[in-house]
Structure 1
């Protein structure tokens, strides 16, 4: 996993710099006040949560810890998600190439980590409780319903882009990547957990890690966006405690699944079932 290890190490550095620049450089962001505040909130979570989580997990991965591998993969998934947001939901600015580099390193690191996980030997006794899969499927269903509740009415509205008013965006990258990539992936993992498949336990732990960090991120970006423009309806201060609670609740299935992850790391290219 040498190439993937170097890619993830590079990602730690690039993501930290990109987030620090986004937070600290005055007048870097030229979007609406609320979106600038939201982007800075996300950058703080990248800098203080996701990057440290990835950096602290990598030594464990090299020592042979599957649990560290799950945490690292979840952190990279979060960075991939938000690299898309920096690259496509932030007006072009001098940090653009940093955002692109963060996105490139995130995508290729994630592909390498997932390929490595799928190549591990499977311990048939290591299965997670079915209720963890039910939890994943419920969250996927609620999230999908929430997004379609906006997208479907807008599709047939006289002004289909009205829901984007105040954002400065021409479309919503959250809807695109959630509906096209992340929610289907988590639905697959949820179904596999319900079916007691041992080969998805590491990836399920990674997915739940991603969700917990993302819940923290949404709580912070909603708070920061509201702070930047209290009059905006794009964000909601009322959503902050809800997403903070979701992060706490999501930690429970994450810890349960992590405990079912075998302690050792099998050589790459092991059996897959």
Structure 2
């Protein structure tokens, strides 16, 4: 992909608007890989929900995993399919959501692989993770950033979205480091994992090593109105929406599985639902400045 700056300053377009083309060309590879991902992820999540006896972790973690799988089936995969269909019809808004949904699906696949004790579904989880990663590679490979830039109006709220994204980064990082740093410098670092049954929390690893740094760099590029930064930041907002919904669901399942566990709390279900709604408002603000069909 080639980096394109859509404006030299706020509100001043440098990208020609005539002869606008779709962000994805006519190639079928992203659609084939996306369809294959759905075919693999559906049974991975479905069997996790249908056969709880396959899960061998502590009760609360088993509940969390089943909640994650429910969110995948009820929200993640339907959004993926709808976004793919919308993109095939020329919607750039659907393309942004497609990319963000792939990020979400990778996130959940990592949890199934690394936050779930080895079970009979392990190879299915690995296949799901691999296909999620390669689906993302295929989609990015087919992305035309110049076409994406041409589908943005001059009113795109680049700096507002970038600022909001950076606030999300700071709040998310602070929430994890508030727990991790004191534990790391204590005589018992593993205390941060008490009650989870985990050796290492893959949520901490993913967020601090991959997703939050990615969003930080993308938000800076978004502030500068670079097309790749705008795309990745918006896609990350879609990821945050889906992940907040997923956390809301897994907190309910986890607390229901073990009401005495401090790891999950029913009270966090509405909290993350609100976070999802706020983030959805930010994404909608951005998508208002994106053309939905070729001009």
Which segments of 5 or more consecutive residues in structure 2 lack a partner in the other structure? 1-26
Count of matched residue positions in the alignment of Structure 1 and Structure 2: 266
- After superposition, the Cα gap between the structure-2 partners of 1:206 and 1:42, relative to the gap in structure 1 and judged at 3 Å, is same
Residue 76 of structure 1 deviates from its aligned partner by 1.0
Contact 1:202–1:261 at 8 Å: present in 2 too? Answer: no
Alignment partner, residue 15 of structure 2: none
Of 31, 41, 47 in structure 2, the residue corresponding to residue 21 of structure 1 is 47
- How far does the alpha carbon of each residue in 1:46-100 deviate from its partner, in whole angstroms, 9 at most, with x for none? 0000000001111222222211111111111111000000000001111111110
Q: CA deviation at 1:265?
A: 6.5
CA distance in 2, matches of 1:265, 1:69: 13
Residue 258 in structure 1 maps to residue 287 in structure 2: yes
1:219 to 238, 248, 260: 248
Give 1:97-112 correspondences, 5 Å limit: 97-112=123-138
CA shift digits 1:138-185 (9 cap, x unpaired)? 010011111111221121111110111221111110011111110011
Q: Does 1:150 align with 2:176?
A: no
Task: For residue 198 of structure 1, report the CA deviation from its aligned partner.
Answer: 3.9
- Distance in 2 separating the partners of 1:196 and 1:3: 29
**Pairs within 5 Å for 1:12-91:** 12-91=38-117
Candidates 203, 206, 211, aligned match of 1:177:
206
Instruction: Single out whichever of 49-58 and 188-197 deviates more from structure 2.
Output: 188-197
Question: Could you say what secondary structure the match of 1:262 adopts?
Answer: coil
The two structures have a TM-score, normalised by structure 2, of: 0.85
C-alpha deviation, 1:131, in angstroms = 1.7
Unaligned runs of 5+ in 1: 267-273
Q: 1:236 matched to which residue of 2?
A: 265
CA apart distance, 1:237: 2.1
Q: Which of structure 1's runs of 4+ aligned residues deviate more than 4 A?
A: none
Structure 2 SS opposite 1:248: helix
Separation (CA, whole Å) in 2 of partners of 1:193 and 1:183 = 15
Looking at structure 2, the residues matched to 157 and 15 of structure 1 have their Cα atoms a distance apart, in angstroms, of 39
Are 1:134 and 2:163 counterparts? yes
Report the RMSD for the aligned CA atoms in angstroms: 1.8
Q: Does the 8 Å CA contact 2:238/2:283 hold for their aligned counterparts?
A: yes
Cα offsets for 1:172-212 (capped at 9, x unmatched): 10011111110011112222232333443333221111110
Paired with 2:205 and 2:294, the residues of 1 have a C-alpha distance of: 34
SS of aligned partner of 1:92: coil
